[in-house]
Chain A
Amino acid sequence: MTTAAPARLSPRLTAATTGRVLRQLRHDHRTIAMMLVLPSLLLGLLALLWADVPAPPGQPSTFDRVGLTMLGIFPFVVMFLVTSIAMLRERTSGTLERLLTTPQSRLDLLLGYGTAFGLAAAAQAVITVTVAVTLYDLDIAGPLPLVVLIAVADAVLGVALGLLASAFARSEFQAVQFMPVVVLPQFFLCGLLVPREQMAGWLQAVSDVLPLTYAVDALQELGSSPAATGRMWADVGVVTGAALLALALAAATLRRRTS
């Protein structure tokens, strides 16, 4: 027997699933194109929207603030949707049940998904950030690789929450509607629409426990500071921790035995 001990974390099995998910993506050219190009196009629309609106005196332009935040929100939303559908497909096609009878552990499977879509998000972020600063003159004070890093952390958070949400979805209709349930409240309360300090106290408290708040805060730090700040790293830590927590919860809700 050359097989490794089952039901334990195995980087080899995680990598096998990462490779498989990426190969599935590779066969789907339109999805790749949309994943890589769509955020740049949408960001361009935002740039045009605020192009003729003068910036308030002494403050960054609205596009600089919103555009930077969007660099974190796009990968979060896209990866949430893509993973919750991908996982639902695993369920309905019977492949999930089959995978659960193989030596691969549930966390291996979910980490495999997280890594695959994290890599896709990295490619997406590199393109979007490059286009934003060259074509749309988005002003970012901090180092661009860190912006990409935060975008990837946001994408992994989206993947983890998507995997978790898919456990509660019985159909595609339900899965798609988890997007507004999980994503929109986080978007409303993250501090982009209304500065957090101007929110009612209880809304601020809710905002404090939503991971996207920290993702947006990390990006805002990079918007004004030329180097990484301690607060930014703390934010990234919170986002990553929330993603790992959601992955662990998703693994726990993934039932090997079903009726």
Chain B
Amino acid sequence: MDAAVTVTDLVVDRGHRRVLDGLSTTVPPGQVTGLLGPSGSGKTTLMRAVVGVQVVRSGTVTVLGEPAGSPALRSRVGYVTQAPSVYADLTVRENARYFAALHGRGAKEADAAVAAVGLAAAAGQLVEDLSGGQRGRASLACALVGEPEVLVLDEPTVGLDPVLRVELWERFHALAAAGATLLVSSHVMDEAARCDRLLLLRDGALLADATPAEVRAEAGTDDLEDAFLRLIRAREEVAA
């Protein structure tokens, strides 16, 4: 099966800093791919390149066979930024209905998306009156409503109650089972174990691009946190 996202030799500079340095990878379709790495490792920049809002220095990003950000992709790719990007002065329902309209969907789909993130009871509340976690979920609902084939989620579970986090991950897998491709960033290792595939990013380069089982096997430990640590040390020894 063709990859949903193909990144080839991607180089991105921000200011004078090289954020991504010749990164290449593929994201398989119909799976949840986790993008892990510390803050500043280039996760958000890579995601922005995938949705086509990042100025890139060189390299290519292809999504569903089209160059990232091309007009044909805008109804097929959904993006949720790390900071909730919804209108604070609108209700949850009004936000969802607006983004539904932009994707040619109706009020029914909007209400379903709001319910899917567990905000049905808060649908009539202004976003500015919600908690941080609820705002994040409202933002997620606005991406789900377009039923995108590729869903790019930047740290969607930050600050969430553990029960809700589990529920959201179950939803991500349900979406993948229905054929969607998800690229989800996180810096929480217990979420890494929930992914079908892992990309470990450090200082703008990939340390690992494998399934969780392969990462564990390569590092010789069952604990993913420990496995990543060993991979980082191994890489540093090679460099030294």
Query: Given that A16-B98, A257-B54, A259-B54 are contacting pairs, would A101 and B74 also be in contact in the complex, using a CB cutoff of 8 Å?
Result: yes
Chain A residues within 8 Å of B13, by CB:
259
Is B164 among interface residues, defined by CB-CB distance under 8 A? no
Residue on A with the closest CB to B57?
A: A259
Q: Say how far B211's CB is from chain A's closest CB, in angstroms.
A: 29
Q: With A24-B89, A97-B53, A99-B102 given, can you name 12 additional A-B contacts, CB distance below 8 Å?
A: A4-B104, A6-B72, A7-B71, A28-B89, A93-B88, A94-B81, A95-B85, A102-B99, A102-B102, A104-B102, A257-B53, A258-B53
Chain B residues within 8 Å of A82, by CB:
none
Chain B residues within 8 Å of A30, by CB:
none
Q: Say how far A259's CB is from chain B's closest CB, in angstroms.
A: 4
Is B81's CB under 8 angstroms from A98's CB? yes
Is A231 among interface residues, defined by CB-CB distance under 8 A? no
Chain B residues within 8 Å of A27, by CB:
89-90, 126
Interface residues on B, range: 35 or more
Interface of A is mostly: loop
Residue on A with the closest CB to B13?
A: A259
Chain A residues with CB under 8 Å of chain B are 1-7, 12-13, 16-17, 19-20, 23-24, 27-28, 93-95, 97-104, 256-259
Is A101's CB under 8 angstroms from B79's CB? yes
Residue on A with the closest CB to B83?
A: A94
Is B204 among interface residues, defined by CB-CB distance under 8 A? no
User: Across the A-B interface, how many residue pairs have beta carbons closer than 8 Å?
Assistant: 93
Residue on A with the closest CB to B14?
A: A259
Chain B residues with CB under 8 Å of chain A are 13-15, 51-55, 69, 71-72, 74-75, 77-79, 81, 83-90, 94, 98-99, 101-105, 126, 142, 146
Alpha-carbon gap, A6 to B69, bound state (A): 11
Is A6's CB under 8 angstroms from B71's CB? yes
Alpha-carbon gap, A27 to B104, bound state (A): 25
Is A3's CB under 8 angstroms from B75's CB? yes
Chain A residues within 8 Å of B98, by CB:
16-17, 19-20
A-B contact pairs, 24 of them (CB 8 A): A1-B75, A3-B104, A6-B72, A12-B101, A16-B98, A16-B101, A16-B102, A19-B98, A23-B90, A24-B89, A27-B90, A27-B126, A28-B89, A94-B81, A94-B83, A97-B53, A98-B81, A101-B51, A101-B69, A102-B99, A256-B69, A257-B69, A259-B15, A259-B55
Alpha-carbon gap, A24 to B94, bound state (A): 9
Is A102's CB under 8 angstroms from B53's CB? no
Chain A residues within 8 Å of B79, by CB:
98, 101
Query: Given that A23-B90, A102-B146 are contacting pairs, would A257 and B103 also be in contact in the complex, using a CB cutoff of 8 Å?
Result: no
